[in-house]
Amino acid sequence: MKHFIRYFFISILLVPFAAKAQFESLKDSVVQLYGIVMTHDSLKGIPGVSIVVKGQGRGTISNNQGVFSIVVLKGDTVQFSHISYKPEYAAIPKSLTGNQYSMIKLMSIDTIYLPTAIIRPRPTKEQFERDFVNTKVADDDIEVARQNTSEAKRRVLARAMPRDAGEATNYVLNKNAQSYYYAGQAPPMNIFNPFAWSEFIKAWKRGDFKKKNQ
């Protein structure tokens, strides 16, 4: 027990010194990297260059004059990338003395070659006019909206649209009222109703069906 207490107090005394030594080591490895990114041929500052510490996801971008500044560690690799230039890399020396490191990074323009495009004119004016008239142009959003809200389209949608709750309830109630009215007896058929035949003949003479057909 005495040995345990002795080791415990010794470890308590040594922990601050170990933490301080680790902090001093970490403090010595931190480097303030700053510099300027320039074009390789004209030595002009490149704005908007991404400067990222590789493998850590930390970074910054250069300003309008190509100047940048970022905190790194000794031994880190820094990547410089831009959409118009070839990517470049820079390694921070592990044996660097001090906590500041400056550099001038030169970047070369990255040339992108596109497939060859040959533009030919129409053989004749008549063929151009014919192709221009027959070319199908896709409907824009306004035309699509106009077609979707036309009267014919709304009629089709109204016929296919199911009844809402109120309409369905009224339909069921009317059917139930009809069945209750003729409960216990067969509902009448107008084909045997002389008054219905009389009205049909009068309508035929008046030409009601002919007007409907027209």
Structural domain ending residue among the three candidates 75, 107, 139: 107
Burial pattern 68-101, b for ≥16 Cβ within 10 A else e, equals: bebebebebebebebeebeebebebeeeeeeeeb
Whether 73 is in a domain gets the answer yes
pLDDT computed for residue 195 by the predictor: 73
For residues 173 and 96, membership in a common domain is answered with: no
Tell me the pLDDT of the chain (214 aa) as tens digits: 555 455 544 555 544 444 444 435 555 788 999 999 999 888 899 999 999 998 888 899 999 999 999 999 988 999 999 988 999 999 999 888 888 899 999 999 887 777 788 887 767 888 888 888 888 888 888 888 888 888 888 888 777 777 778 888 888 888 888 777 777 777 766 666 777 788 788 878 777 666 544 4
For residues 79 and 169, membership in a common domain is answered with: no
Q: Domain limits at 176? A: 162-213
Residue 189: what are its φ and ψ, rounded to 5°?
-115, 125
Residue 35's nearest CA partner among 66, 59, 61 is: 66
For residues 25 and 102, membership in a common domain is answered with: yes
For residues 103 and 166, membership in a common domain is answered with: no
Whether 119 is in a domain gets the answer no
Residue 89's nearest CA partner among 101, 102, 76 is: 76
For residues 12 and 79, membership in a common domain is answered with: yes
| Cβ neighbours of residue 121 closer than 8 Å, sequence gap 6 or more | none
For residues 102 and 188, membership in a common domain is answered with: no
Whether 135 is in a domain gets the answer no
For residues 89 and 179, membership in a common domain is answered with: no
Whether 133 is in a domain gets the answer no
For residues 96 and 167, membership in a common domain is answered with: no
pLDDT computed for residue 131 by the predictor: 82
pLDDT computed for residue 15 by the predictor: 45
For residues 8 and 72, membership in a common domain is answered with: yes
For residues 196 and 99, membership in a common domain is answered with: no
Structural domain ending residue among the three candidates 44, 77, 107: 107
Separation CA 79–CA 109 (nearest Å) = 16
Residue 190 per-residue DSSP state: G
For residues 87 and 183, membership in a common domain is answered with: no
Whether 127 is in a domain gets the answer no
Whether 57 is in a domain gets the answer yes
What's the number of domains the chain is made of? 2
Tokens 């004119």 appear where?
121
For residues 172 and 103, membership in a common domain is answered with: no
pTM of the predicted protein model = 0.43
Give the CATH number, domain containing residue 80: 2.60.40.1120
Whether 204 is in a domain gets the answer yes
Sheet containing 58-61: order of strands? 58-61, 50-53, 77-82, 85-91
Whether 77 is in a domain gets the answer yes
- Residue 76 contacts residue 92 (beta carbons within 8 Å): yes
